[in-house]
Structure 1
Amino acid sequence: MLFKEFKLQLFLQPASVAIVACFVVGYLGLVQLRRWQHYHRVHAKYQKKYEDGELTPDEAQKVMELSATYDMPVVVYIGVVVGAIQVYCIPSISKLLVSTKQLGNIENVGRRYADMEILIDTFLYCPLSGFRDISQRVDKDPPAEDPRANISIARVNFLHSRYKIANDDYLWTLYCSIIGPIDSVNLYGWRNLSPMERDSRFIVWAEVARRMGIKDLPASLDDLIAWANAYEEERIVPSKANYIVTKNTIDDAVVSIPRILGLRSLVEGVFICLLGDRIRGAMMLPAQPWYIHAFVKLVMFITTFSQRWLLLPRSQPDYPTIHVNIPQQSFSKRAHTTASRFKPWYKPESTGFQNVIDRLHVKMGFTETVPSKQYKSEGYRLEELGPVQFEKLGQEDVFKDAERIQGCPIPSYYWHRE
């Protein structure tokens, strides 16, 4: 007891208080010094090219990574999810998804989203040119250094070719994919996106859209927003298909949350609050009570304040689902996702301490089971992703289409499949 009192008195001595205060002030100063480092570095490198209208899609990808993988990956991911659900506000889209049973059947939803996230993250974060540094491309027709972005686009093209999809529905999906993260950052981010960051999202997605053969692309983000505002006034209406697809999506997202003390219901309510009233109404989802809205605002405020003033920034990019910076020879091997899902699609079978952790996650209900062959623990190849019935179809066509849209061959080692 006396020893504890002595320690307390020692701590309260002016010198001790001064040391603690200096440490706290120094740490907070370091946070502010480093918080904007990535932002200033990226803008110093690309702002002039952006102002001159010369920003390339590859450079726009690097700008986009600033908010998505360094500064605000969680907030951007919330926007990605909300944007994906916003797509389903259009009955022609949701009815197609219900008819294919990919999102209309809860049993297929987990793999559908696992595949979709991998394909999208691959063409967003791997170089669209096929080269990690396009300025080093000296030969006239060299093989791509990194063909993954264009293989993923080609695979999406193949999967889409199996269905009849209206061009306006493609444009609406493009709009939601761009605007979801932008709106999320504006609402919940510790800073706003700069004009260059906003337009970089459009530059990247517009280039992807061209490679997908989408027609009548607006010339700018503002033009796309104007088109979407007019389109949604005419086409967004409540429908049962909207509800089915969205409900299955939410159920898949919260399946690992325990029901004890109403925790899962709370998380479902938070999810619905994040959608906003316009989307919620189109999905025929119930309005949430005021205290859930207040809870969401409080949590996001605490998160934003902590990140802005109290936490050091990331020193390495946090990619959502894929390993981006890997050796070229690894492209021929099956890849594993970095994302954690209730059904552990494409996660490697573990050993040792990691296996203990995986089994603990199962016991706690965070995952359905440990990684296994049932969920393709051997990994994935981009040209095989998609519904089970298409897994072995179109692979050679995908490679040819990838070579066409990237304008150069796929390296020979990629064709050697492991």
Structure 2
Amino acid sequence: MSPGGRRQETSARYANLRRIRSLDPERDYLEIYQIMLRQEFPWDARLGLNLAFNRAFSIPAVAALLVSTGELTGRTRKRIDDTGLLMYEMVLNGFEHPRGRAAVRRVNQLHRPYDIPNDEYLYILAALVVVPLRWLDRYAWRRPSEHERRAVCRYYRELGARMGIREIPDSYPAFEAWFDAYDDAHLRYSDEAAAIERGSRSLMLGRIPRPLAPLGNALVSAMYDERLRRATGVARPPAAVRAGLHLGLRARALLLRRFGRPRAVPLFADGVRTRTYPDGYHISRLGPDGNPSPTAPAEADSPA
């Protein structure tokens, strides 16, 4: 290939990044976050969010509450699908869209019966910022730009404000510092966290390429850091598996950087599809009881 061809490929590969750098992360944070999730890092960003929820749900107090509801141990698939659908409705539509507002309303309604301390809400929010960005830093085809970090923080600050969360950090370094301090102080082993990890492991196994399925459990365990493994009672996988996972993901990043193309059709272009709702879903009926919010406006079902 000629040098001109290589330059053209490089130019196309970074088209989304150029678009992101032309935007204002304080004003255009939603568009930037949508590009990251739906076009630039679709596999890595979704995996990062899975890891973030795994970690947030492993704090003993949070795990105890979730186990008491039975949602992540007895109805694991539905609980995971409901959480994902509510999150993606906000990202795909924004907080001002009727569907985005309905998703925030439903999240708040589902949490309202429980006396959850502000710090526990804030830890989950911080995990959704820090854990995916750290994964992207380490294993994505490029590291997130400062614009992208600021946009992610701005998005979750807005979500936190709409959930009534107080004292939200105002920058990525501040989110990191708060997250690490709370994580160090509170991430400890509990039987409830171990039960949740066992119940939700199937979702992580679904991220493993089929040829590697025989190593699936060891690879999932290798995605966790040592502190998360201790908190959930997961055995440390063999060193060869940990090294193989790291090298394989780094090789994938290199191949995507050199030979990949921007995603032509954004993720979820035809709607979010889940096993639980093959015929579509109604936002106000997502969640444990399946009953609509009494204050929810009428809304169309999602496409099947």
Amino acid at match of 2:17: Y
Amino acid at match of 1:186: D
Amino acid at match of 2:81: A
Amino acid at match of 1:184: W
CA distance in 2, matches of 1:416, 1:192: 38
| Inter-CA distance 252–219: structure 2 relative to 1 (3 Å threshold) | closer
Q: In the TM superposition, what whole-angstrom CA distance separates every residue of 1:42-65 from its partner, at most 9, and x where no partner exists?
A: 21233xxx4xxxx23xx1011112
User: Aligned-pair distance for 1:113?
Assistant: 0.7
User: Aligned-pair distance for 1:219?
Assistant: 2.8
**Alignment equivalent of 2:22, drawn from 31, 44, 53:** 44
| Inter-CA distance 198–393: structure 2 relative to 1 (3 Å threshold) | same
The yes-or-no answer on 1:154 pairing with 2:105 is: yes
Contact 1:157-1:212 at 8 Å conserved across structures: yes
CA distance in 1, matches of 2:23, 2:167: 32
User: Aligned-pair distance for 1:71?
Assistant: 1.4
**Alignment equivalent of 1:210, drawn from 161, 166, 170:** 161
Amino acid at match of 2:23: K
- Counting only pairs closer than 5 Å after superposition, residues 231-242 of structure 1 correspond to structure 2 as 231-242=182-193
- Structure 1: segments with no counterpart, 5+ residues: 1-20, 131-146, 324-335, 348-376, 400-413
Alignment partner, residue 235 of structure 2:
286
Q: In the TM superposition, what whole-angstrom CA distance separates every residue of 1:294-323 from its partner, at most 9, and x where no partner exists?
A: 22123212211111001222123223xx74
CA distance in 2, matches of 1:165, 1:128: 23
CA distance in 1, matches of 2:170, 2:208: 43
What secondary structure sits across from 2:296 in the alignment? helix
CA distance in 2, matches of 1:81, 1:91: 18
Alignment partner, residue 380 of structure 1:
281
Alignment partner, residue 37 of structure 2:
68
Alignment partner, residue 142 of structure 1:
none
CA distance in 2, matches of 1:244, 1:110: 14
CA distance in 2, matches of 1:71, 1:417: 28
CA distance in 2, matches of 1:255, 1:193: 25
Alignment partner, residue 123 of structure 1:
90
Contact 1:239-1:283 at 8 Å conserved across structures: yes
Contact 1:158-1:398 at 8 Å conserved across structures: no
- Counting only pairs closer than 5 Å after superposition, residues 14-413 of structure 1 correspond to structure 2 as 28-46=6-24, 50=25, 55-56=26-27, 59-105=28-74, 108-130=75-97, 147-254=98-205, 264=213, 266-319=215-268, 323=270, 337-339=272-274, 344-347=275-278, 377=279, 379-387=280-288, 390-394=289-293, 396-399=294-297
| Inter-CA distance 417–118: structure 2 relative to 1 (3 Å threshold) | closer
Contact 1:119-1:382 at 8 Å conserved across structures: yes
Name the structure, 1 or 2, with higher relative contact order (CA <8 Å, separation 6+).
2
- Structure 2: segments with no counterpart, 5+ residues: none
Instruction: Count the aligned residue pairs.
Output: 302
Q: In the TM superposition, what whole-angstrom CA distance separates every residue of 1:223-258 from its partner, at most 9, and x where no partner exists?
A: 232222222222111111111101111134437989
Question: Given the two structures, how large is their TM-score scaled by the length of structure 2?
Answer: 0.91
The percent identity for this pair of structures is 23
| Inter-CA distance 98–175: structure 2 relative to 1 (3 Å threshold) | same
Contact 2:20-2:148 at 8 Å conserved across structures: no
CA distance in 2, matches of 1:128, 1:179: 21
CA distance in 1, matches of 2:45, 2:152: 12
User: Aligned-pair distance for 1:280?
Assistant: 1.2
Alignment partner, residue 405 of structure 1:
none
CA distance in 1, matches of 2:50, 2:219: 13
Q: In the TM superposition, what whole-angstrom CA distance separates every residue of 1:47-100 from its partner, at most 9, and x where no partner exists?
A: xxx4xxxx23xx101111232211111111121111111102310000111110
Q: In the TM superposition, what whole-angstrom CA distance separates every residue of 1:112-169 from its partner, at most 9, and x where no partner exists?
A: 1111101001112212233xxxxxxxxxxxxxxxx11110000011111132212111
Amino acid at match of 2:153: F
CA distance in 2, matches of 1:254, 1:88: 18
Q: In the TM superposition, what whole-angstrom CA distance separates every residue of 1:182-241 from its partner, at most 9, and x where no partner exists?
A: 011001011111112111111111111111111222333322322222222221111111
Rg (Cα) greater in structure: 1
What secondary structure sits across from 1:398 in the alignment? coil
CA distance in 2, matches of 1:175, 1:312: 31
CA distance in 2, matches of 1:27, 1:193: 25
User: Aligned-pair distance for 1:393?
Assistant: 4.1
Amino acid at match of 2:285: E
CA RMSD of aligned residues (A): 2.5
Amino acid at match of 2:55: Q
CA distance in 2, matches of 1:255, 1:33: 33
Question: Given the two structures, how large is their TM-score scaled by the length of structure 1?
Answer: 0.67
Contact 1:185-1:192 at 8 Å conserved across structures: yes
| Inter-CA distance 175–300: structure 2 relative to 1 (3 Å threshold) | same
Alignment partner, residue 365 of structure 1:
none
